[in-house]
């Protein structure tokens, strides 16, 4: 479906009835709440009941569990998540009835146009954490931003907020070219790697998408990019972005790092800017912080405010989130679902001083598992014990014939678990004093951690 940002605007008006297909999603749920706050009538549907759908129902938004044609009755238009394809019963019914169908990102793009400053954070990984860090900085600087994060941020007690300021801070995803519907005045590119290969043809296709995204920034806007990432530099070099990283030549540069990357100095154009003390460990989080610092500096937020805000940042939900203890082992949960994220997580975990690292990993989607198979194997070989749950299907059918058993066969000492209760039972059996237990993946693997710490 072609982008139709101009036509959707006529529907986002008080009194209209908007139906959201996939309303329980991390950006669909806040979209529904924001639109309802603007005076629109909102209904929605999702494949499964969840904490998100329960919360929407509690707030007075009708949510249908399961997708059925009759769910769209009375809707003036339908907004769908990227995972809802044309064969979805509600999408098919809307097409048959001539009810306009728009993409989630189109709606956010229209909302974004109302703000003077639209800060859009993109990248293969690190988006949620960096968006949360930037939010922490702008909140403590009293900017009162509107925020949309693709996950839970404890500071907001949600993944979104509606502010009264002139700034929107928006996590921006490349999947299905969603972020090409946006209107960034500041575009942040954290890194570029091959991912979402069920949509993109290859890495070069991903790079083209990010170049188009960065090119959306107007002449008086700004592009902030990872100057240490080769793919990002190759893709965006001609746009002359503001850069961040550890390497000499970056506009915002981190130096004098502690062993776990929680403390370091920051230079702006080779002049001391501030000293940073983070509560989250790992090089990946230091790089996320440098990106956030670059944004804060660009918007002339004082260095001491930036440093203090980042010292208060304790992480976003499901990003190395402490869940509790079991038999002397510390249990953490993380959303990592790409080999790059998995490697960054394991590197950070290895700096924390535990006797063993036990990683319970749930691959996310059959296509990603197949396309990046060897990279997942190499990453999971780095831990002391890999426990692999069956692949989380998400939006896909297993037409490839792949299983987590294929990963287990290539990882020495790895254990296959068909169900989440099996994962929890195995972790109960092997947990020891001094262990770090990680539950990792973008699906529902977090439930295994929650079951573990409750026993």
What's the CA gap between 346 and 357, in Å, rounded? 8
What's the CA gap between 163 and 181, in Å, rounded? 22
Catalytic annotation present for 127: yes
Which of 53, 124, 128, 232 is catalytic? The answer is 128
Q: Which tokens is 99 given? A: 């009810």
Catalytic annotation present for 390: no
Contact of 130 with 143, CB cutoff 8 Å: no
**Length in residues, the chain:** 455
What's the CA gap between 134 and 12, in Å, rounded? 28
Residue 115 neighbours by CB distance under 10 Å:
19
Which of 171, 174, 193, 390 is catalytic? The answer is 171
Which of 127, 174, 390, 424 is catalytic? The answer is 127
**158-161 and 146-153: which strand pairing?**
antiparallel
Phi-psi region of 282 (alpha: psi -120 to 50; beta: other; left: phi over 0): left
Phi-psi region of 302 (alpha: psi -120 to 50; beta: other; left: phi over 0): beta
**158-161 and 167-171: which strand pairing?**
unpaired
DSSP string over 376-401: HHHHHTTSSEEEEEPPB-TT----S-
Strand order of the sheet with strand 242-245? 158-161, 146-153, 167-171, 117-122, 186-189, 222-226, 242-245, 252-255, 263-268, 271-277
Q: What is the dihedral of CA 177, 178, 179, 180, to 10 degrees?
A: 60
Give strand pairing partners of 222: 186
C-alpha separations of 224 from 133, 238, 241 in Å: 15, 13, 5
Sorted by sequence, the CB contacts under 8 Å of residue 163 that are 6+ apart come out as: 143, 144, 145, 146, 147
Q: How many CA atoms lie within 13 A of 23 on its CB side?
A: 31
Catalytic annotation present for 131: no
Sorted by sequence, the CB contacts under 8 Å of residue 391 that are 6+ apart come out as: 362, 363, 364, 365, 366, 369, 398, 402, 403, 404
Catalytic residues: 127-128, 171
């Amino acid at each position: 479906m072609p982008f139709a940002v101009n036509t959707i605007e006529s529907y986002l008006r008080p009194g209209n009835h908007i139906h959201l297909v996939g309303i329980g999603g991390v950006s669909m749920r806040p979209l529904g709440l924001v639109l309802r706050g603007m005076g629109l009538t909102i209904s929605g549907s999702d494949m499964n009941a969840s904490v998100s759908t329960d919360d929407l129902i509690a707030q007075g938004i009708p949510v249908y569990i399961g997708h059925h044609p009759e769910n769209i009755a009375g809707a003036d238009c339908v907004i769908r998540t990227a995972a809802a394809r044309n064969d979805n019963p509600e999408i098919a019914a809307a097409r048959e009835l001539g009810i306009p169908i728009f993409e989630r990102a189109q709606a956010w793009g229209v909302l974004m146009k109302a703000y003077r400053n639209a800060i859009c954070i993109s990248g293969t990984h690190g988006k949620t954490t960096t968006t949360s860090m930037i939010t922490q900085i702008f909140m403590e600087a009293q900017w009162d931003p509107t925020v949309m994060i693709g996950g839970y941020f404890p500071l907001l007690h949600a993944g979104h907020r509606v502010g009264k300021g002139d700034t929107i801070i928006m996590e921006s995803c490349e999947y299905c070219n969603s972020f090409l519907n946006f209107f960034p005045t500041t575009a942040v590119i954290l890194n570029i790697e091959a991912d979402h290969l069920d949509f993109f043809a290859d890495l070069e296709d991903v790079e083209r998408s990010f170049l188009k995204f960065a090119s959306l920034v107007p002449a008086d806007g700004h592009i902030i990019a990872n100057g240490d990432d080769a793919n990002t530099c190759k893709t965006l070099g001609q746009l002359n972005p503001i850069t961040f990283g550890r390497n000499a030549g970056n506009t915002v540069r981190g130096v004098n790092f502690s062993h776990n990357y929680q403390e370091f100095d920051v230079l702006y154009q080779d002049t001391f800017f501030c000293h940073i003390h983070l509560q989250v460990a790992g090089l990946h989080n230091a790089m996320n912080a440098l990106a956030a610092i670059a944004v804060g500096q660009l918007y002339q937020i004082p260095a001491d405010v930036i440093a203090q805000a980042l010292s208060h940042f304790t992480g976003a939900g499901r990003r190395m989130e402490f869940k509790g203890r079991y038999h002397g082992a510390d249990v953490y949960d993380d959303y990592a679902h790409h080999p790059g994220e998995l490697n960054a997580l394991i590197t950070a975990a290895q700096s924390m001083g535990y006797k063993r690292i036990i990683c319970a990993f749930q691959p996310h989607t059959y296509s990603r598992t197949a396309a990046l198979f060897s990279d997942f194997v190499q990453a999971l070989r780095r831990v002391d014990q890999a426990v692999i749950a069956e692949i989380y299907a998400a939006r896909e059918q297993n037409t490839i014939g792949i299983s987590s058993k294929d990963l287990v066969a290539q990882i020495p000492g790895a254990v296959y678990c068909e169900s989440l209760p099996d994962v929890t039972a195995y972790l109960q059996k092997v947990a020891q004093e001094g262990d770090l237990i990680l539950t990792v993946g973008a699906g529902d693997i977090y439930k295994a951690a929650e079951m573990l710490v409750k026993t």
